[in-house]
Chain A
Amino acid sequence: MKLALKELRRRPGRFATATVILTLIAILLMFLGGLLDGLIASSTGAIRAQNADAIVYSDTAQASFLRSRIDPALRAQVEATDGVTEVGGIGNVQLGARVPGNGPRDLASVALFGYELAPDGVPDAPPYGQAWADESIEADGVEEGMIIEVGPARTPIEIIGFVEDTSFNGQSSLWASPDTWRDTLSANRPDAQLGPDVFQALIVRGDGDDLPAAIDAATDGATDSYTVDEAIDAIPGVTEQQATFNQIIGVTVAIALVVIGLFFALLTVERTSLYGVLKALGARSSTIFAGLVAQAVVVTAIAALIAGTLVVLLDVLLPPGSIPLLITPSRIILSVVLLLVAAVLGCSFSLRRVLRIDPASAIGTTS
């Protein structure tokens, strides 16, 4: 092992090309993962923030706020379900917002929520005409105390503070009272307006093993209820995005495995005679192989370190709103772990060659 690490120190150039390739692959892995996390986070923040045991839509809504409609009678059925302790209405409308100081064609995309039960990190619903805003809207120049005009009807909404990680469908969310939301919806989207006390969905808290199923049973199938995790997965595109990106990440890890396998297999072939000498001197195959693994791990770790730094730098340098990249420590750690596993597995291709080296070959083969 010491010999292997010494070789890395003395002849780093020998490993430079493999390090460069692995760095590129590590950047790819982290970038792909960051892109997936960014896309999912910007689409699902508002749902993730819900402190709920069930989110209830109407039966044909396909978990879409815009297509869901829960009238007071249906709500009463939900409230009467065994295990339900709290029920709050929620609704959403996605509009453009005019920000003071921005150009007349430079609008911010917002998703205005009206809510009765506050999500995690969001205070109770503010008075009429006011809203808490997701901090992502700050990139559009919105500041606390500012009054923005929402939708073609230019409904004024005063921003009274910011909350974190509550984006929805890639848009900055605004959190307002049900009346603010309902009036904004009617004024700007008459085709989607809802009657008094009608909500798009319900946030339900309670106990019981399977509250969503209990609610759907109690309403005789007039509702379509989800846990928070299920509601996130039910957002159109989320599952597909995750499946596609995970497949691409998987194949990229396989490529890393092949590259490492190729590199160390060739390195082993090149050093067969030297390993023969080492074996003749008493070195065991396991020691030689451990040295190879140590080299692969170190090369991969260096590549991952460089890649991690570059990806974080890229994340910092990217202008807000250009690419939905979200680099998190957990994503970097996962990428590094995947690469290290690939490194060890790739290296194991050389194990057979190391085992086959005959110490007798040392005689007369090295110059």
Chain B
Amino acid sequence: MFLAFKEMARAKVRFALLIAAIALLVFLILFQQSLQNGLITGFIGAIREQNAPVLVYSVDGQRVIQGSVITPDMEADVLAAPGTGEVGPIGQGTFTGLPSGNTDGETFDTTLIGYELGPDGNGIGAPSTVVDGRLPTADDEAVVSDADVQLGYGIDDTVTLLPGGKEITIVGVAENAQLNVSPTLFVSYETYLEAVKSVNPDAGTPLPNVLGVIPAEGFTPDEAVASINEQSLTLDALTKDDAAAETPGVAQVQQSFNIIFLLYGLVVPCVTGLFFLIVTFQKANSLTLLRAIGAPAGRLVSSLLIQVVVIIGLGLLVGTLLYYPVSQQALGGISLQFETAAVIFWSVLLLSLGVLSSLVAARRVLKIDPIEATTGQGVGS
């Protein structure tokens, strides 16, 4: 151990370069993990965080809420399905919103999700977790997603929809409930209908985009989904988790990021393995001499492994420290979060892969024949 640390202290630049390379890679992996999760949460968080266990789209909607239209016939089919308990219409549209909390007068794409409030605002389609304030209990009130508060969508702020000037007052904040990576307001269904009419005087009365369904007693959400889908080929019922995961674009985002993670995951052990292999080659003569004067091979290998663990550990630490402040920021409309689970997962994985990759260098050390000290040859030969 003494030897391992002494060597690192003597060759600071060499080891610092490796730590920097690993730290950068770790930072990139963690940053992209946050970006992926933030992107997906911003994209479909509202679907995951609303309270209807089952959502019914029209097949034409292709699992995009705004693209789906539920005709009265379809609604009748849903109501007739044995697995259906309670049903509520959900409408969604994107508007230009001017929040009063933003002093710059900046406007934002603003998503409205309309649902039937019920007596306490907790109707079908309401956000599940309100972290501040309360649910809307009347028309022209809204709950906003937490990521949007910083844009001026705070409690008691009003949002003016343009053109038309319809005003909505924010009364609560829900957790991770964005849709389409834009400020998202949960409002009464009536407020949503009025909003559509206010911005487009030519508009007809919108039909519900999707139906929120609470399964009938004795039916699980999966059974309710199967029951509704059997009713008609024009209906596309999904559990809310499936609806979130199968929103177009989500799978592609995950696949793309997975390929990127795989490549980064391969680069880290390759860099570590290469570095220690070269260092072992460089130290060939010294290692041979150490073996010749009685140093056991096990001690030399453990010295190598200690260096690997320390270097990767420091790389992970520096990378995580770089990642922490970035993870507290918002990128465009995407709210990033510090992903503790990702830090642990990647730390364990990269450390294991790094140690594995250094076994090639360890094998070289074990192959050292002390007699070569008398011939001038070493592991490098």
Using a CB–CB distance below 8 Å, which chain A residues touch chain B? 17-18, 20-21, 24-25, 27-28, 31-32, 35, 58-62, 64, 66-67, 69, 94-96, 104-105, 107, 109, 151-152, 170, 186, 188-195, 198, 236-237, 239-240, 243-244, 248, 251-252, 254-255, 258-259, 261-263, 265-267, 269-270, 322-324, 367
Contacts and interface: CB of A to CB of B under 8 A. Distances in A.
Nearest to B375: A367
A262 B18 CA distance: 7
B179 interface: no
A151 B60 contact: yes
Given A61-B96, A248-B32, A105 B233 contact: yes
Given A243-B332, A322-B252, 20 more contacts: A18-B274, A31-B259, A64-B96, A64-B109, A66-B94, A67-B95, A96-B59, A96-B60, A107-B60, A152-B58, A170-B248, A188-B60, A190-B207, A193-B203, A193-B204, A248-B32, A255-B24, A258-B24, A262-B271, A263-B278
B25 A255 contact: yes
A367 B303 CA distance: 27
Contacts, number: 159
Interface stretch (B147-155, B261-269, B347-355): B261-269
A95 B236 CA distance: 15
7 contacts: A24-B267, A28-B264, A96-B59, A237-B332, A243-B332, A255-B28, A267-B278
Contacts of B96: 60-62, 64, 67
Contacts of B248: 109, 170
B143 interface: no
B162 interface: yes
B270 A20 contact: yes
Contacts of A239: 332
A262 B21 contact: yes
B302 interface: no
B267 A255 contact: yes
A21 B94 contact: no
B270 A24 contact: yes
Contacts of B181: 237
Given A64-B109, A255-B267, A31 B260 contact: yes
A266 B11 CA distance: 11
A69 B197 CA distance: 13
Interface stretch (B61-69, B80-88, B122-130, B288-296): B61-69
A248 B28 contact: yes
A59 B107 CA distance: 11
Interface string B239-278: 0000000001100100110011001101100110111011
Nearest to B13: A265
A324 B252 contact: yes
Contact of B333 (A31, A240, A265): A240
Contact of A96 (B17, B62, B202): B62
Q: Is the interface of B mostly helix, strand, loop or mixed?
A: helix
A367 B376 contact: yes
A274 to B, nearest CB: 13
B206 interface: yes
Interface string B39-58: 00000000000000000001
Nearest to B18: A262
Contacts of A265: 14, 17
Interface in B299-341: 331-334
A159 to B, nearest CB: 18
Contact of A193 (B59, B109, B202, B273): B202
A152 B69 contact: yes
A244 B35 contact: yes
B205 interface: yes
Contacts of A266: 14, 275, 278-279, 282
Nearest to B74: A152
Contacts of A236: 109, 182
Contact of A258 (B20, B233, B236, B333): B20
Indicate the member of B14, B32, B69 with the most A CB atoms within 10 Å: B69
A17 B274 contact: yes
Contacts of B69: 152, 188-189
B67 A96 contact: yes
A21 B274 contact: yes
A94 B252 CA distance: 20
Nearest to B39: A244
A94 B67 contact: yes
Indicate the member of B17, B69, B107, B202 with the most A CB atoms within 10 Å: B202
Contact of A17 (B20, B62, B249, B270): B270
A28 B263 contact: yes
A259 B205 contact: no
Contacts of A67: 94-96, 199
B202 A270 contact: no
A302 B41 CA distance: 40
B267 A21 contact: yes
B172 to A, nearest CB: 26
A184 B149 CA distance: 38
B286 interface: no
B281 interface: yes
Contacts of B71: 152
A188 B68 CA distance: 10
B204 A190 contact: yes
Contact of A69 (B200, B252, B255): B200
A323 B21 contact: no
Contacts of A324: 252, 256
A266 B271 CA distance: 13
Nearest to B162: A60
Nearest to B332: A240
Given A95-B67, A104-B233, A258-B20, A192 B281 contact: no
B205 A24 contact: no
A-B residue pairs, 5 tightest by C-beta: A190-B204, A191-B206, A240-B332, A60-B162, A96-B60
Contacts of B27: 251
B163 interface: yes
A64 B234 CA distance: 29
B93 interface: yes
Nearest to A105: B59
B269 to A, nearest CB: 10
Contact of A192 (B24, B25, B163, B200): B200
Interface string B87-121: 00000011110000000000101000000000000
A31 B277 CA distance: 29
A66 B32 CA distance: 32
A17 B273 contact: yes
